[in-house]
Structure 1
Amino acid sequence: MGTFSADHAAHLRPGHLLAAELARSQRAAVATLPVLRHLLANDGPSLVSEAVVARVRGMLRDLATQLHAGGRGPAAVSDHAATEIDALVVQLGVHEALLAHIHTLALESQLAERFEQRLSLDPVLSPLLQELIASDDQAVAELSMNVLAAQTRFMQSQRRMELPLAELPADLFRTALQIGANRDQPGSAAGLAALMASYDEAATRLALLERLVVAMRRAVVACLAFDRAGLALFAQGLAALAGMERAGAIHACHEQQSPRLALGLRAAGLDLAGIERQMLLIAAPGGWLADIAEITPQQARARLGELDAIALERG
């Protein structure tokens, strides 16, 4: 089993200082899900953001409630359903990929609100999205309007600590429905089958964001201007240009993951000056930042791949 120890970090070139910071941030990233599971099972105080944990709890319970109702709406949930819903919450919470996805959504909404306070950056309608809505390209303009509507629904749902089943990626949607089907609840099978029949992954917020970034073609580099793009488009553009998963791009925008953000920006093709500009907006860089200039975008991509592989091995 691979480890990202200090010895391993010392072999990364160039820049021992950058390698050490990447090792530290990687340890923090790998520890996220075990800590999150513990927090979901225990109500005691924690150094981890209470707002994120509360949203994860709320989204798990909302999914469980939807599954219990079999797609028939909250009115179909009886007053005596709490025990069954609690059991569904537990079953959903032990599924690692689903839990990781929900955690990323909670983190994204919290970061969006934080950047709204710090930079006056609208979490729904960023300057770039506004420009794309006014695009002469009809396909881009239409996609942008759909993204605006989806982003509005996302932020509203996050404030209510909700997550519509239909917003899950296809693999996680099927997983959730399978969990909901593994119980004896009258009428739920037909409701879950109806949910499956009506599901359209292309209409989800994440799919719309991906389609919009693809439709932007070379103009996608505009997404790397954080104060213009906003978090949602920045993360999508960074993922596309750096060869990252979108979830990894969201996590990179947390202050504890600033070395990964710098590496991602380098992988996306930014030079040191461009990276510094974005880092000053998102997360304060350390003395290791100068090491980034000695890494090519191809090397940065390779290192991101190594970090992701280690995370998967430990997960």
Structure 2
Amino acid sequence: MGKTATDMDKRAEARMPAVEALLRDELSRGDRALRSVPPVLSHMLASSGHSLVSDAIVARLRGMLASLSMQLLAAKDAGWQPGEETAELDRLSDRLASDSVVLSYCYAMAMEGHLAEKFEQRASIDPILSPLLQELIASENAATADMAMSTLAAQSRFVQSQRRMDLPLAELPAELFHAVLKRWEAHNRNDPAMSPALKALKAEYDEGASRIGLLARLVSSMRGGAFVALQLDHAGFALFASALSALSKQPRELAVLACHEHQAARLALSLRASGLDMAAIEAQFGLLHPDERLPRDIEAIAPERASILLNNSNARDAG
């Protein structure tokens, strides 16, 4: 009699290394936490009384949503002033906040800004000009040097924007940028100013020139040398997150969130999926999660298997 799918699953689970079972359980718990982020944030944006870090993140979220809204309204009316029509600004901000994809992206950017500040204070990791970026700026390859200089400027703008709690429309990923415009257009179908505003915003948009686009291109240009960007203290957090995303084949937002203290399993699997050995994983884990214990047998999980576990993660549906 042939084996059933259930029997085969049970046999496969029995052969599973103990460390994989442990990490898979922890990853599932982390995924549940990430899936709860949008509804929790929606509640927090409408209330108060949170921890200090939560207050800081919520303040950044409010600022970024208002910033996106102001840019959209200004594109429709060059003479628009936020002090004159706060009701319209509030309505648009609320609409954007009700979109879980927009909210999740803003949360990831707020968390990146928060973590960059944290690592600067705790480990003296410069959030703008890292040793690796300095090396790339000094590259003999003119294209690489120019790209690195553009990345430096973009990273400097990001840090300043986070301090001001801003988020330029031009910095949104292409899919999200067009989704935001579509959502905005849907609520203003009868406004004759919408068509030229949308046309102008789309004409000015260039994903490749955005900070995330530049970081991705810079990591790609390093080819096999991209592994050096997985040294947080050498690469800086922005390049580290982009390299972790590229090498572990997961969205950059999830690579950023893997560096949060409650996502240790995702970080461990991401580093392993990127091809790092135990010593390298321990070094990065010590910088990112010094108070967490790293499973000693994680090297028993092949990089390909770690990648499969991440790809099967439900956190991809968190938005």
**1:157 aligned to which of 147, 161, 183:** 161
The number of residues matched between the two structures is 304
Query: What is the rounded CA distance, in whole Å, between the counterparts of 1:160 and 1:55 in structure 2?
Result: 8
How far does the alpha carbon of each residue in 1:54-83 deviate from its partner, in whole angstroms, 9 at most, with x for none?
10110001111111222656x522633111
Query: What is the rounded CA distance, in whole Å, between the counterparts of 1:304 and 1:314 in structure 2?
Result: 13
Over 3 Å counting, the alpha-carbon distance change for 1:287 and 1:120 in structure 2 is closer
Asked if 2 retains the 8 angstrom alpha-carbon contact of 1:71 and 1:188, the reply is yes
1:79 matches 2:70 = no
Over 3 Å counting, the alpha-carbon distance change for 1:112 and 1:313 in structure 2 is closer
Name the SS for the 2:125 alignment partner.
Answer: coil
1:155-304 mapped onto 2 (5 Å cutoff): 155-181=159-185, 182-183=187-188, 187-284=193-290, 286-304=292-310
Identity of aligned residues (%): 47
Deviation at 1:36, TM superposition (A): 1.0
**1:37 aligned to which of 32, 42, 66:** 42
> TM-score, normalized by length of structure 2?
0.89
Larger radius of gyration: 2
Instruction: State the match for 1:125 in structure 2.
Output: 129
Instruction: State the match for 1:67 in structure 2.
Output: 72
Deviation at 1:180, TM superposition (A): 3.0
Instruction: State the match for 1:51 in structure 2.
Output: 56
Deviation at 1:24, TM superposition (A): 2.7
Query: What is the rounded CA distance, in whole Å, between the counterparts of 1:198 and 1:287 in structure 2?
Result: 47
Instruction: State the match for 1:23 in structure 2.
Output: 28
How far does the alpha carbon of each residue in 1:112-144 deviate from its partner, in whole angstroms, 9 at most, with x for none?
011010111110101100110001111111110
Query: What is the rounded CA distance, in whole Å, between the counterparts of 2:283 and 2:260 in structure 1?
Result: 16
- Return 5+ residue gaps in structure 1 as ranges: 1-6
Name the SS for the 2:262 alignment partner.
Answer: helix
Query: What is the rounded CA distance, in whole Å, between the counterparts of 1:79 and 1:118 in structure 2?
Result: 39
Over 3 Å counting, the alpha-carbon distance change for 1:314 and 1:250 in structure 2 is closer
Instruction: State the match for 2:112 in structure 1.
Output: 108
> TM-score, normalized by length of structure 1?
0.90
Name the SS for the 1:244 alignment partner.
Answer: coil
Deviation at 1:33, TM superposition (A): 1.7
Deviation at 1:248, TM superposition (A): 1.0
Query: What is the rounded CA distance, in whole Å, between the counterparts of 2:135 and 2:223 in structure 1?
Result: 15
Asked if 1 retains the 8 angstrom alpha-carbon contact of 2:137 and 2:148, the reply is yes
Query: What is the rounded CA distance, in whole Å, between the counterparts of 2:82 and 2:192 in structure 1?
Result: 12
How far does the alpha carbon of each residue in 1:212-241 deviate from its partner, in whole angstroms, 9 at most, with x for none?
111111110110111000110001111111
- Return 5+ residue gaps in structure 2 as ranges: 1-9
Greater shift after overlay, 187-196 or 125-134? 187-196
Amino acid at match of 1:36: L
Name the SS for the 2:127 alignment partner.
Answer: coil
